[in-house]
Amino acid sequence: MKTINLSATVPSLAEILDLAGEDAIILRTPEGREFVIAEVDFAEEVAMAAQNQELMQFLEERSQETKKYSLDQIREQLSAP
């Protein structure tokens, strides 16, 4: 991961995206705030999630739930202290 200090240089958006295509980058503002820019491959993320057995078991259990809640019940639960 590469860090670009924006107080020293201000690359164009195209330059930032080109760099992020190679490796994730951190942009550091002159005030010290940091932002991560990285390329995302959603197909790969979905494939990785599908291989996560714990997540798949959780989703399977959730899909079996048959109890339904009305909007009023949900509002009541959300407003309860």
Q: Which pLDDT score, from 0 to 100, does residue 37 have?
A: 95
Q: Which pLDDT score, from 0 to 100, does residue 41 have?
A: 87
For residues 32 and 48, membership in a common domain is answered with: no
**Cα–Cα distances in Å, from 51 out to 20, 39, 64?**
26, 21, 20
Residue range(s) defining the domain that contains residue 33: 2-37
Report pLDDT digits (tens) over 24-54. Answer: 999 999 999 999 999 988 998 899 999 999 9
For residues 58 and 33, membership in a common domain is answered with: no
Q: How many domains does the chain have?
A: 2
For residues 46 and 72, membership in a common domain is answered with: yes
Helices (H) and strands (E) in the chain, counts: 4, 3
Domain CATH code at residue 28: 3.40.1620
For residues 32 and 58, membership in a common domain is answered with: no
Report pLDDT digits (tens) over 48-81. Answer: 999 999 999 999 999 998 888 999 999 999 998 7
User: What is the model's pTM?
Assistant: 0.53
Q: Which pLDDT score, from 0 to 100, does residue 66 have?
A: 86
